[in-house]
Amino acid sequence: MENAKYLRKRLVELLDTTEEALRDLETSGLLAPFGGPRDSYSPAVLSSYRRALNVYPKRQLARRQLFLNFKGGTGKTSLSVSYAHRLAELGHRVLLVDLDSQGHASKCVGFEAEECEVTLFDVLVKSRPVREVAVPTILDELHLLPSNLRMSTVDLSLMPMTNRERRMQRALDAVVEDYDFVIMDAPPSFGLLNLNALIACHDLIVPVLPDFLSFHGLKLLFETLDDLAEDMDHRLDRIFIAINQYNPTTTIARTARGALEQHYPEHILPMVIRQCTKFAQASGEGVPIFLFDPSSKAAEDIDALIAHTRLEPKVSEAHVDTNTVAQAVGSTQSTVDPRPTGAMDTPEAGATAAMTASSPPCPAAGTGGTNLGHANPHTELDSASGQDEARTDQAARNRTHSTSQEAVSTAKESIS
């Protein structure tokens, strides 16, 4: 990691300048004190140049995005770390939150997790402020909330606490102005830790592999979200399903992609992250792909992922409709159920969709309002609509639970 460098050409692109302009700045201008023109630069120099030139993208209140799938090995860590690092090298202020006791995300940005004295555990359990625990990384713009093995007991420690599901949200609320993005890398587990992450985030990004086992993990995840909306009164702004390790030359990958597009049309991203040996090598060496090989397929695909997911949701996109979730869950009662999603439509389902469509949008971060608290349209519905919606949600839940028990058991078994 110490040897990871940006080539000069790359630095010119990242600073959005020209070779000549950079040379002038380095020889006699603002950048002259940093050692002059050279062939390659450490990430720290990129950050110093940015600061000296004051070239940053537009600031916004922290948008929180969680990479989660209850299945292991789908690319949560590889994608979240590359995503966070890429945003930071473009000049956004990013907090990467490692939720996994394995500490892989921490390692990928240069930290031996076991050597970190304070971690996310201290934030969640001991109420240590994020500002005291977050550490700067190779890029000044990228901070890390590390995790290590101590996190494996976090659920037990949280259990007796008041407001135990909202401790992450509270901790991150305190730094909403410090970051443009908070990117969270979740472990593949159920429990209070991931519940905290789900409640704290605005957007969920679900990496899936293009195989049929993925359907089990997705079914379980959507059921959990359905429960979250029902029991905790919490709705995510958006859910993106990102196909990872896609290899178009295999029939299984193409078929699985088609089936995912059919079952989750609301959520599946139009782009994929292709299988890429360089990506695997980069994570093996603990170097973000944009430093390892910025011209690789994976780097190109992460850029496409960011282009689709980083922006504030449009008003019409805000909030995930529980009914859509219920449809998606119901429509995957067998792994390759060929029925179109619309086959689950019912009068109740239509009622929920109509009510949600007419619900006021969540105030968006950076647009004059605040994104804290994730304003819930339910609270602003009149009571009659609220009752209708409650009935509709219950109907959807009943349907979901009666059709998916078997798949959930399978999914639980398939979680690694």
Ligand X SMILES: Nc1ncnc2c1ncn2[C@@H]1O[C@H](COP(=O)(O)OP(=O)(O)O)[C@@H](O)[C@H]1O
**Binding residues for ligand X (CB under 6 A):** 72-78, 104, 244-245, 273, 275-276, 279-280, 283, 298
Stretch that binds Mg ion, among 99-107, 230-238, 270-278, 408-416 (CB under 5 A): 99-107
Give the nearest distance from C-beta 305 to ligand X in angstroms: 11
Closest to Mg ion by CB, 81 vs 381, is: 81
Nearest residue to the partner Mg ion, using Cβ: 77
| Torsion sign (Cα): 201, 203, 207, 211 | positive
- Give the integer Cα–Cα distance in Å for 5 and 148: 27
Task: Produce one character per residue of 311-322: b if its CB has 16 or more CB atoms within 10 Å, e if not.
Answer: ebbeeeebbbbb
Show the tokens assigned to 11: 């630095």
CB of 286 to Mg ion, least distance (A): 13
**β strands within 55-146, DSSP E:** 63-67, 94-98, 135-136, 142-145
List the structure tokens of 288.
């973000």
359 binds, among Mg ion, ligand X, none (CB under 5 to 8 A by kind): none
Q: Of these, 47, 65, 77, 352, which contacts Mg ion (CB under 5 A)?
A: 77
Given ligand X, Mg ion, none, residue 263, with its beta carbon under 5 to 8 Å by kind, binds none
Q: CB of 76: closest distance to Mg ion in angstroms?
A: 5
Which of the choices ligand X, Mg ion, none does residue 245 contact, using the CB cut-off of 5 to 8 A by kind?
ligand X
Residue 319 contact among ligand X, Mg ion, none, beta carbon within 5 to 8 Å by kind: none
Residue placing its CB nearer to Mg ion in the complex, 12 or 415:
415
Residue type, 356: T
Q: Cα separations (Å) of 334 from 36, 199, 412?
A: 62, 29, 15
Residue type at position 366: G
Shortest Cβ 279–ligand X spacing (Å): 4
Does 76 bind Mg ion (CB under 5 A)? Our answer is: yes
Q: How far is the CB of 97 from Mg ion (least distance, A)?
A: 13
The CA distance from 241 to 269, in Å, is 6
Task: List Cα–Cα distances, 212 to 216, 217, 342, 410, in angstroms.
Answer: 8, 10, 21, 12
What is the closest distance, in whole angstroms, from the C-beta atom of residue 71 to ligand X in the complex?
7
Q: Does 371 bind Mg ion (CB under 5 A)?
A: no
Question: Which residues contact Mg ion by CB under 5 A?
Answer: 76-77, 104
